[in-house]
Structure 1
C-alpha cells in the first residue's frame, strides 16, 4: 500500500485539476464547437485509515477524531503540528484552503472494517484478529488489565470475547443455516468453512448484513451475555446510522450512544460531554444579600465535592465502572449492596481523580477540572432559584418569615452509611438550610450547594403521615448532620424545593411540612382541559368518607370543654 507516499501518485491528478480550474479547451461533438471546460475537486471520500493519507491528520493518536479540537485543516502557524503527519498535496490547488468540508468518510467501508475486526477477533483468527500478542503487550505498557499480560515466553491468555471451538461451531453453523429473501443479500453461506472454522471472502454488502442484522443472533448463544450485549448495541447503532432516513436531531444522541458502547468495550468510561459546548453545571440561580469567602474544612470539602460528583450525569458511567470493580474485588468478602455502596461512597472521589488525570486526552477540560475538585468557596446568606427564595436558618433570627425549609426526593437512601437497611423508591427528605455555598472549580465553573440539617425520614421517629394527607417531621432526631465523614449534608441548589413548618401545640417536637408553589410558575391546565363542577373539599387530595345516617347524631358534648366562669358582678361590688 502507498500510505503517505500516495502524494506521489496524486501529483499528476493535482496538475490536471489545476488546468481544469483555469479552463481547458474542449470539443462539443453535439454542437461541433469548442468551449472552455472548468472543473474543481469538491472533496475526497475514504474510510478512516485512508483519511490519514489524504489529509495528513494523525488517525492513530489520542486525538484521532478530527473534531476533537477546534482546529482548521490548513496552514495555521499557531496550531500544534504534532497531530499532523504531513501537508496534504491538495493544498496546491488554489481553492482548497477555502473549502469548509474537504474530506468525507465512507460509511460503507468503515462499517466493513469494523465488522471484519469484530468478527475475526471473536473467531480468534490467527491472522486478522486484533486480540494478538502486540495488543497484549500494549496493555502491559499501559499498566492495565494485568490478567491479560503475556508471560516471558510470549504466551497470553484468551480474552472473554474470543470463542472456543464449540462456540465457533455454534456461530458458523447458525450463519450457514440462514436463508434470505430474494434480493436481500448474497449467499453468505459460501463464505463459511465449518471444517477450518473460518470465514473468508466477505464483501461490503455481506458485512453490512452481518453488522446490522445477523451478529446479535449469531453471538447470542456463542458468547457470554456481557459481550453479546455490547455487540448487539453496536449493531443497533449502525442500523440507525445507515437507515434510509436519519433525523439530524438524533445524531447527537447516536454519538453519545456509540461512545457509551465503546466505553463498555474498553471497560473505560468515556466523557460524553466532550461534544457538548455547554457547561455541566449552568448557572440558573442568583445570590442575594451579602457574599463572603468561605473556608471549608477538609471534611466539608470532601462531602460537598462528593455530592457534586454523584449528582453529575456525566460521571454516572464512571460510578458504574467503579461499583463493578468494587463488587469484583469484594466478591469473596461480601455481597451486601449496602457494604458495596459504603465503599463506593468513601473511595470514589479519589478513584475518579486518578482515572481522569489533567494530562488526559480522552476527557473534556470540564471533566478533568471536576475530577481535581473545588479550589475555593463562597458563602451566601440568601439565594433565589427554581422560583423560590431561600435563606439560611441563622439569617432568619428575629424575622417573622421563614425561607430556610427545604425538601428533596431521593431514589434510594440509608438513614446513615452505617445503616444496612436500604430504602428504595422515592424517599422524601425535609431539612433546614444551615449554609449556602458556591464551589469554584478553578474559575471554570461553579456549583451552588445547600448544607442542611436533615430529618431522619427513613424511620417513624422522624416522619409521620396522617390520614388528612399531612406530613409531620421531627427535628429532634436529625441525620446527616455533617459531623461524620460519611454524612451527606449537602444538596444541589437546583434540586431544592421550598417548604415551611408549622409547629404543633400539643406535641411540640413535631412540625407539619407545607409545600410552597414556586413563584412565576403557573399551572394553567391542559389546552382542551374540561373543567367540571366538583364538590367542595376542605383540602385538596383529602379522601372524604361517606356521611351516612346522621339523624341520631348528638350535637352537644356531655363533658364541659371549659371551666365554669364565675359571676364577676359580685367581685366588682366587693372591689367598689
Structure 2
C-alpha cells in the first residue's frame, strides 16, 4: 500500500487560515482501474486543525506506524472467501504520495535551502541570486563530451562536474544516524515553545503565478555576465528593460487571449506558434510532450531511458531562454521523475490527483463549521458503512450524510408538536404573539434553557424525499451571571436587549 497526506482548508475560503490533514492508505492489491479510486481509499487518521502539524507530524503518525510495523512483521489472520480458508496477511508501505513541501514533513528532509533535492542529496546544484536561490546546472547530466558543457552562455562558466551519484539506502541511513535531539512529542511546554530542533553536524539536510522577469532577474544576468542583450540599459536617470523573447507585447497578449476563447480543436500549436519565439516555443512543446509520454498508461524501460536523455536537453534549452530566477527546485525535479517511474511503474499510481479529489469529497462532509473534523469523520464513516451495507446505519442517516439540496424553502409559520409557531414579522401584525422559542439543554449535567424568537422556518430536502425542518432564531443573552434572566413568581423575565450565538441561529423544529 501507499500512504498519502496533504493539508486542506475545509472552509473553502483561502483567506481563512485553517489546515487539517487526513492520512490516507491506498491499497494496491486491486485491479488497476480500482486501486486509485476513492471508494477503496482508507482514511486512517485525521489530524486536527487549525494549524498544520509541520515537523511534529511524527507525533500524530506514531500510532499508525506501530500498526503498520505489526502488519509487516507479525501480520494478521485473514479469511480468504475464495478458497474458504484462513491465512496470515502481511502488508508493506512501498511509498508515500504527497506534494514537495509535505515531503519535508514526512521524510525529514529540508525542502528549503541549498540542498533541497532529496535525490541529489549533498550534490544538489544550487546558486544564490540577488533575491533567491536558483537550481540550474542541468548540463552536468549531459555526457562528458557534449558541446554544451564547454559553452558559457548558460551561467557564464564551463561545466566540468561529473554526473551526481545516486545515494544508496545504506548511505542515507548513515546520514540519518547523525540526527539527534529527536523527541516524539510536541513542544507544548512554555520553555520549548517556538524552539526549533537543532541541526546536527554530519546529518546532511535531514531533520525530523507571478512574473519572474523582474529587474532583479535582469541584474542576475549581469552578475553572471550572460545574455547581454537582456541587461538593463541606462537611459538618463532611468533604466530601460529590453523585451525578452519569452514575453508578449500588449497587442500579442490580446490576440493570444482571443485565440484561447476560440480553441475547440487540436491545431493549437499551429495557431499559438506566431505568438512565441522559435526557441521558446520549441522548448515548451518538447516539455509538454515529455510529460505526455511520462504520464502514459504503459511505460517501457527503453522509452524511459530515452526520456531521461531528452529531459536534460529540454531543461538546458530552457536555461538558454529563461532567466536563472525561473529555475526553482520544481523544475530540477523533472530530471528525477524518470527514476521514480522505473521504480514505481506508471505514474498514475503515485500522483496526487486522486488524493486531491478525495480531499474535495471530504470537504463536502462539513455540516457543522464549529465541529469540522467531527463532521468529516462522521460523514466518512457513514458513507463507508452504507457501502458495506452495515446494520448500524439507516437510510435516513445516509441521506443526511449526503447533504441537502441547495434550493431551500422558507416559510413564515410551522406547526410542530401541536404548537403553531409564527415568525417575528407576522407577530407585528397580530394581536397575539406566537414567535417565542425555548430550548432546554444540559451542559455538564446542569440544565440550561435557551430563549429566543423565531425569525424564519427552513425546509431542507434530501434524497429520496427525506426532509428536515429548521428554525432560525434570534437568541437572547440569558447569562445568569449577568442577571439577564430572572424568575418573577411563576413567570420568567428576560432582558431582550442583547443577543448571543448569532453565528449559530439554527435548531431542529422538533427541539422547540
Q: TM-score normalised to the size of structure 1?
A: 0.28
Name the TM-score, length of structure 2 as normaliser: 0.31
